[in-house]
A and B are shown apart, each in its own frame.
Chain A
């Protein structure tokens, strides 16, 4: 099951005066899990709804395997998407919820039951969705996306409401779908930590704009490159950091350098004959990197 690539280019959407998505471009490849990250209101859901033909873009395109969602024959067999945990009729059973959509992907009632087993809802198949917990709804949403056995999965905040066990299960499941089965998996979240152990690539947006797109390792590398220097010669190090183009902050007893590894800082100090009393790599933590990337003030500085 080889998935198709998702291509977003120049996508823009205004809601009245609010620019929800702003000339956004990125791509999502098959065979890996891509995290689509951004704080609340960043425009994730709006982007996904445009990709799925539910919201009309003001400008730009969003395609799956080169086609717009609405132009795909039997789209739910190509793309499985779950957008909200609450999109169920409370009076319908879990199985009937799948049976309602089954004709449009050409699957039998038996398959509906199997898909429910697959997401761990087999025992609740004949229960009404109205009595479901948030986590159970998430699982049912996931079952809905899997119904047509699609090569592309688009999941909006699928970990919301899942218990730790559920999150671990989802992680393994999504990685299996992408790595072992070659599907395209796009997962949105507003917390990096939630998907950190799941995703291979990250696309970070803030204020509707792309702020970062890379493999997760690059983000990890950015996180690791924060070095605390203890030195009597702070001025010397400030000069050094400026020469090398490293970001820095002066702190009591020395300074903190960002954008270089402890080894790089040590070697540079040695070459410049600067006195060092202490040198320590201080992992920023991915969450901190994420916060810096999506900090609204960042855009103003750049502008």
Chain B
């Protein structure tokens, strides 16, 4: 297993994808952090209102939302990185030499999941640093401080990084389940940018309106909602969307990762490699 981990680690680090993605993620998160910070500075009331909610947002909440923007809006990066780690093997047919050197397919998959968990941590740290770098200077001008010494905020930051790391593992599972690279990327972009946001708002609103608790509850089990529950703050929270408890969010998120990986193991990785 150690040798396989080393091999997988080298697979990730010997092409430039990882640092290009990390760089773009840092820049994007810094941009979003700055935009969010700016909106809080400009008009705290309006900012929270435009996010859909009614009540004003405290400086603490503003800091929490800004610093964990990665878990809310940046998870597409580790997700894509993880997926490409597997789909790339099929796209470039490197799966053939990979399986010649490690014919135990579960070991190969396990090593890829673990290595991408580590890469996910890196994306999590880089993305969160980006959000802080972009948002903190502006938040500092509100006068309430940066909250970077605040235990609760630090906890949010820590769990936001963990959530982003698990997203990378979900990516590997998804890539195993959907080894066609183009299909995997289309599904990821469509789901994260379009389907899930609409579902979350739609299910919750529909459930509330029709007074069907099961519908609103279902929204909490979507992977993006579970990741926000793990991070402990929500970009959508201000719009009145509920989240699971932190531990439950973590379980649901890990469940997605394990589920996809298992399905992939017993579909794609059981097939002939021709």
Q: Which residues of A contact B (CB under 8 A)?
A: 45-46, 49, 52-56, 69-70, 75-76, 81, 83-84, 86-93, 96, 99-106, 144
Contacts and interface: CB of A to CB of B under 8 A. Distances in A.
A87 B97 contact: yes
Nearest to B91: A89
A92 B7 CA distance: 14
Contacts of A106: 3
A99 B100 contact: no
**Interface core residue of A54, A88, A144 (most chain B CB under 10 Å):** A54
A102 B6 CA distance: 9
Contact of B102 (A54, A92, A102, A104): A104
Given A54-B273, A54-B274, A100 B11 contact: yes
A100 B16 contact: no
A70 B104 contact: yes
Interface in B98-129: 99-104
A49 B17 CA distance: 30
B164 to A, nearest CB: 24
Contacts of B14: 92-93, 96, 99-100
A13 to B, nearest CB: 9
25 contacts: A45-B274, A49-B272, A49-B273, A49-B274, A54-B96, A54-B273, A55-B272, A55-B273, A76-B100, A81-B100, A88-B92, A88-B94, A89-B88, A89-B94, A91-B16, A92-B14, A93-B14, A96-B10, A100-B7, A101-B101, A104-B3, A104-B7, A104-B101, A104-B102, A105-B101
Nearest to A154: B100
A93 B2 CA distance: 23
Given A83-B96, A144-B97, A103 B10 contact: yes
B92 A89 contact: yes
A69 B17 CA distance: 33
Given A96-B14, A100-B7, A87 B92 contact: yes
Interface in B231-274: 272-274
Contacts of B2: 103
B58 interface: no
B150 interface: no
A102 B9 CA distance: 12
A17 B210 CA distance: 53
B272 A99 contact: no
Contacts of B92: 86-90
B6 A103 contact: yes
B101 to A, nearest CB: 4
Contact of B15 (A46, A91, A99, A101): A91
A178 to B, nearest CB: 21
B272 to A, nearest CB: 4
A100 B96 contact: no
Nearest to B17: A91
B10 A53 contact: no
Interface string B63-106: 00000000000000000000000001000111011011111100
A88 B6 CA distance: 18
Contacts of B104: 70
B94 A53 contact: no
A75 B97 CA distance: 12
B115 to A, nearest CB: 12
Contacts of A56: 272
Contacts of B94: 87-89
Given A75-B103, A103-B7, A103-B10, A87 B272 contact: no
Given A54-B274, A104-B101, 4 more contacts: A46-B274, A49-B273, A56-B272, A92-B15
Given A75-B103, A87-B92, A89-B88, A103 B273 contact: no
A195 to B, nearest CB: 22
Nearest to B272: A55
Contacts of B7: 100-104
Nearest to A71: B103
A102 B97 CA distance: 12
A266 B94 CA distance: 59
A104 B7 CA distance: 7
A48 to B, nearest CB: 11
A113 to B, nearest CB: 15
A96 B12 CA distance: 11
B271 to A, nearest CB: 9
Contact of B96 (A46, A70, A87, A104): A87
A52 B93 contact: no
Contacts of A84: 93, 96
Nearest to A72: B103
B4 interface: yes
Contacts of B17: 91
A167 to B, nearest CB: 23
A196 B150 CA distance: 77
A101 B9 CA distance: 11
Nearest to B12: A100
Interface string B21-36: 0000000000000000
B103 A53 contact: yes
